[in-house]
A and B are shown apart, each in its own frame.
Chain A
Amino acid sequence: MIEYIGITVLWVFLYGYLIIGSIDFGAGFYSFYAKITNKKHTIRKVIDRYLSPVWEVTNVFLVFFMIGLIGFFPNTAYYYGTALLVPGSVALVLLSIRGSFYAFANYGARESNVYLFLYGATGLLIPAAFSTVLTISEGGFIIADESGVRLLLGHLFVNPYSWIVVLLAIVSVLFISASFLTYYANSAHDKEAFELMRKFTLIWGGPTILMSFLVFLTLSTHNPEHFQAMVEESWIFVLSLLSFLAALWLIYKKQQIGIAFSLVCLQFFFAFFGYGYTHLPFILYPYLTIYENITSPEMGITLIMAFIAGLFLLVPSLFLLLRLFIFDAEYVKGN
């Protein structure tokens, strides 16, 4: 029971990071795009107004997931920690460049093309790097024996599944971010920004679905066991597809943009939880399962209680943040 609660909590936080992180990462890219195509005033204002107050919160979701994973499943620290030294460090450096340069540009009060470029580029490279961890969890890239745990980096680089996942991550980031910014621009009554972001949402919608199908296809040869499980639970992926179609339809028709963005969130909710659910019981195929690697019940129950206590603190605070900066019409409009 503890293992199911644990993995669900972690997956919820990773899903939170997926949505909030994607908005943030994609916004970096669009910000840079706006700069080089001189569309600065149309979308930069909207992006800045959203990003400034919330960017620090984004990172916390990721750290929370990592610490929670080690708390509930301590053995993951040993396997993933040993194997991911190099790719993990590279991702950390990218994350650092992005975080600090955003702060430098934003609070240091000087507009610099170098900062913006780094900010935009890392926004696409970071999700690419993180998505490979999910690929690695499918097995075939980590070898554990008496001599220790090793990552087969070469295999990862020539594997088609691994590249499709990277592409899916990048287009998803651009799609999620565009659909959110469409909604935000719409709330701000910023017509120009709305049209531009709407266009981007429609452009990236197709590749998102295409890449999702290709992920299915390549997974069938890479990890047939997982693929089979996904086929058995295919209803959840059908729901994901329906949410996607409904969202795209609304955005195309320029109606109910708020609901459209919620549908995009739902689309990824179904896909992400469907993926996660069928991935079980493995955390790292075939070495780690949630059953054998769960922490002691004493620690597990304490962590769950701490988590519930923490939610009582966080949910109202997050609500306040959203109220003040996302759902406050006057703030969104820039008044």
Chain B
Amino acid sequence: MLEDPVLLSRWLTFITLGFHIIMATIGVGIPIFISIAELIGIKKKDHHYILLAKRWTRGYTILVAVGVVTGTIIGFQLSLLWPSFMQSAGHVISLPLFMETFAFFFEAIFLGIYLYTWDRFKNPIFHWMLSIPIVIGSSASAFFITTVNAFMNTPRGFDLENGAFTNVQPFVAMFNPAMPSKVSHVLTTAYLTGAFILAAIAAFHLLRGKTHIYYKKALHLAMIGCFVFSVATIVNGDISGKFLAYYQPEKLAAAEWHFETTDRAKLLLGGILNEDEQEVKFGIEIPYALSILAFNRPSAEVIGLNDFPQDLWPPLYIHYFFNLMIMIGMFLAAVSFIYLVFYYFNRFNSLNPWLLRAILLGGPMAILSIEFGWILTEVGRQPWILRGYLKVAETATTSGHVFEMLILFSLLYLALGILLPVILIRLFTKKSVESEIDKHHIIL
């Protein structure tokens, strides 16, 4: 295994991206809430919301800094580990890659300005306006980079003749069939994850016995975001299922252990697969649900895996990641729904400790679900790197030193993974909310 550059390159890419998407997701998800909090603070002249925006920004900045670092790494690693893939991708899909750097550039400039100009404008609304480019820039980065991933799933916009790319249409490649469902899913889940992390932080403080109204305002604002974006995530999750059924049926079939093409297909939860017999034990089956997920009709026919040659099957373990992702998504939606019901009906206590514990759990769960969903979509594309054109095994580097690099980067992420939470905790405990509220004058 230590000799196989393909496997090692996959591992290194997995570790880098697995680490990076945490920062990237939070980096996309949080600015929108910072912007909303600051606007509420200005409109209502409520100092607490301004402080909320400031404290969120502080944590966000450190995460973005590490995200810049890991993002630079993955940007280069794509060429270092998958040179032939980037050569092909460069011909057809370099437009969104190029524009992604612009979007990030835009975000970085305004983040720099935003951070250091809290007290520089007479009218605070000017400072709030600086948050808009940050929201747009971070979301646009996610948009562009996701179109590249979508392209890997449904490559369009070129002809391949004797190994050369001809008739290249950059915009067709960018706006490929996988783009709408993927982009919307990535964006809403990023906002959802951002909201749940902010809610989890507030819930944590309330559980620890803090009673200041500041935490309740923070929790409520974040939970509204959680609810809105968990509903949006369920909607576009459903659209993603329909996209897969039509354009990438083998991925959906592998995720569902759906072997024979049938109508009235059932949805399977959990279970243990006997691969030789293609039989599942201990699974929970929901009749018609897969047909409904795939085509909105209980009688619809869903293509099974046996219609594809076995060497083009994705690994079947993605079923578990699919299930886990959906279960967490449902959990997050349920928690935010219950919170809002409790909040708006006075008979219940929306600060019930058990509910707060569920919200606290929702933060890490949301991140896990991002990881699971990402593993599902990447592993579910195997063995292809460009579906139908180029296989992963053909594009890895031929270098014999990938193992050493794997160790090197693992150590780096280990160090960052330990330091990052330590620094964040130190930063926030050093200046407590209460002391900052007392001062009424906050400098970042």
Chain B residues, CB < 8 A from A66: 75-76, 79
Q: Tell me whether A100 and B110 are in contact (CB under 8 A).
A: no
- In the assembled complex, how far is the CB of residue B386 from the closest CB belonging to chain A, in whole angstroms? 14
Q: Tell me whether A298 and B168 are in contact (CB under 8 A).
A: yes
CB-CB under 8 A for A56 and B80, given A62-B72, A89-B408: no
Q: Contacting A71 at CB < 8 Å: which of B66, B90, B404, B409?
A: B90
Q: Contacting B72 at CB < 8 Å: which of A52, A59, A84, A104?
A: A59
- In the complex, which residues 19-73 of chain B have their Cβ closer than 8 Å to any Cβ of chain A? 58, 61-62, 64-66, 68-73
Chain B residues, CB < 8 A from A147: 398
Give the most central of A79, A92, A318: most B CB within 10 Å: A92
Chain A residues, CB < 8 A from B377: none
C-alpha spacing A149/B85, complex, angstroms: 15
Number of residues from B at the complex interface, CB < 8 A: 74
Map CB proximity to B onto A69-81 as digits: 1 under 8 Å, 0 otherwise. 0111111011111
Chain B residues, CB < 8 A from A152: none
- In the assembled complex, how far is the CB of residue A133 from the closest CB belonging to chain B, in whole angstroms? 11
Q: Tell me whether A321 and B83 are in contact (CB under 8 A).
A: no
CB-CB under 8 A for A85 and B427, given A53-B116, A100-B416, A302-B170: no
Q: Tell me whether B101 and A63 are in contact (CB under 8 A).
A: yes
Q: Contacting B79 at CB < 8 Å: which of A70, A99, A296, A306?
A: A70
- In the assembled complex, how far is the CB of residue B243 from the closest CB belonging to chain A, in whole angstroms? 26
Main secondary structure of the interface of A (DSSP, over half): helix
Asked whether any CB of chain A lies closer than 8 Å to the CB of B401, the reply is: yes
Asked whether any CB of chain B lies closer than 8 Å to the CB of A210, the reply is: no
Chain A residues, CB < 8 A from B399: 82, 85-86
C-alpha spacing A99/B309, complex, angstroms: 47
Asked whether any CB of chain A lies closer than 8 Å to the CB of B133, the reply is: yes
- In the assembled complex, how far is the CB of residue B44 from the closest CB belonging to chain A, in whole angstroms? 28
> Which chain B residue shows the least CB distance to A54?
B112
C-alpha spacing A314/B101, complex, angstroms: 11
CB-CB under 8 A for A314 and B409, given A95-B69, A103-B66: no
- In the assembled complex, how far is the CB of residue A300 from the closest CB belonging to chain B, in whole angstroms? 10
- In the complex, which residues 34-88 of chain A have their Cβ closer than 8 Å to any Cβ of chain B? 52-57, 59-60, 62-64, 66-68, 70-75, 77-82, 84-86, 88
Q: Tell me whether B168 and A299 are in contact (CB under 8 A).
A: yes
C-alpha spacing A95/B98, complex, angstroms: 21
CB-CB under 8 A for A57 and B109, given A74-B90, A95-B69: yes
- In the complex, which residues 353-406 of chain B have their Cβ closer than 8 Å to any Cβ of chain A? 397-399, 401-402, 404-405
Chain A residues, CB < 8 A from B102: 64, 306, 310, 313-314
C-alpha spacing A250/B414, complex, angstroms: 49
CB-CB under 8 A for A296 and B427, given A62-B72, A80-B79: no
Q: Contacting A60 at CB < 8 Å: which of B104, B398, B408?
A: B104
Q: Contacting B426 at CB < 8 Å: which of A73, A80, A110?
A: A110
- In the assembled complex, how far is the CB of residue A298 from the closest CB belonging to chain B, in whole angstroms? 5
Q: Tell me whether A96 and B69 are in contact (CB under 8 A).
A: yes
Give the most central of A54, A74, A79: most B CB within 10 Å: A74
Chain B residues, CB < 8 A from A92: 72-73, 76-77
Asked whether any CB of chain B lies closer than 8 Å to the CB of A109, the reply is: yes
Give the most central of B94, B419, B423: most A CB within 10 Å: B94
- In the assembled complex, how far is the CB of residue B36 from the closest CB belonging to chain A, in whole angstroms? 22
Chain A residues, CB < 8 A from B61: 103, 107
Give the most central of B99, B112, B405: most A CB within 10 Å: B112
Q: Tell me whether A93 and B87 are in contact (CB under 8 A).
A: no
Asked whether any CB of chain A lies closer than 8 Å to the CB of B108, the reply is: yes
CB-CB under 8 A for A60 and B116, given A88-B80, A299-B95: no
C-alpha spacing A93/B109, complex, angstroms: 24
Asked whether any CB of chain A lies closer than 8 Å to the CB of B334, the reply is: no
Chain B residues, CB < 8 A from A313: 102, 106
Asked whether any CB of chain B lies closer than 8 Å to the CB of A262, the reply is: no
Asked whether any CB of chain A lies closer than 8 Å to the CB of B442, the reply is: no
> Which chain A residue shows the least CB distance to B95?
A302
Asked whether any CB of chain A lies closer than 8 Å to the CB of B11, the reply is: no
Asked whether any CB of chain A lies closer than 8 Å to the CB of B115, the reply is: yes
> Which chain B residue shows the least CB distance to A64?
B101
Asked whether any CB of chain B lies closer than 8 Å to the CB of A320, the reply is: yes
CB-CB under 8 A for A71 and B94, given A77-B86, A85-B401: yes
Chain B residues, CB < 8 A from A317: 106, 109-110, 133
Asked whether any CB of chain B lies closer than 8 Å to the CB of A324, the reply is: yes
Q: Tell me whether A53 and B91 are in contact (CB under 8 A).
A: no
Asked whether any CB of chain B lies closer than 8 Å to the CB of A31, the reply is: no
C-alpha spacing A53/B114, complex, angstroms: 9
CB-CB under 8 A for A295 and B94, given A56-B111, A85-B81: yes
> Which chain B residue shows the least CB distance to A330?
B120
Asked whether any CB of chain A lies closer than 8 Å to the CB of B351, the reply is: no
- In the complex, which residues 104-146 of chain A have their Cβ closer than 8 Å to any Cβ of chain B? 104, 107-110
Chain B residues, CB < 8 A from A99: 65-66, 68-69, 72
Map CB proximity to B onto A292-307 as digits: 1 under 8 Å, 0 otherwise. 0001101100110011
> Which chain A residue shows the least CB distance to B112?
A53
Chain A residues, CB < 8 A from B88: 74
Chain A residues, CB < 8 A from B94: 67, 70-72, 74, 295, 299, 303
Asked whether any CB of chain B lies closer than 8 Å to the CB of A325, the reply is: yes
- In the assembled complex, how far is the CB of residue A240 from the closest CB belonging to chain B, in whole angstroms? 29
CB-CB under 8 A for A56 and B168, given A85-B402, A107-B62, A325-B116: no
Asked whether any CB of chain A lies closer than 8 Å to the CB of B330, the reply is: no
Q: Tell me whether B402 and A109 are in contact (CB under 8 A).
A: no
Asked whether any CB of chain B lies closer than 8 Å to the CB of A102, the reply is: yes
Chosen A-B contacts, 30 in total, with CB atoms closer than 8 Å, are A52-B115, A53-B116, A56-B65, A57-B109, A57-B112, A60-B105, A60-B108, A63-B71, A64-B105, A67-B98, A67-B101, A70-B79, A70-B94, A74-B88, A77-B90, A81-B81, A88-B80, A92-B72, A92-B73, A95-B69, A96-B70, A99-B66, A100-B66, A100-B419, A104-B423, A107-B62, A109-B427, A299-B91, A307-B98, A325-B113
- Known pairs A56-B65, A302-B171 / 9 extra A-B pairs, C-beta < 8 Å: A63-B71, A64-B105, A70-B89, A89-B405, A92-B72, A99-B68, A103-B62, A103-B66, A299-B94
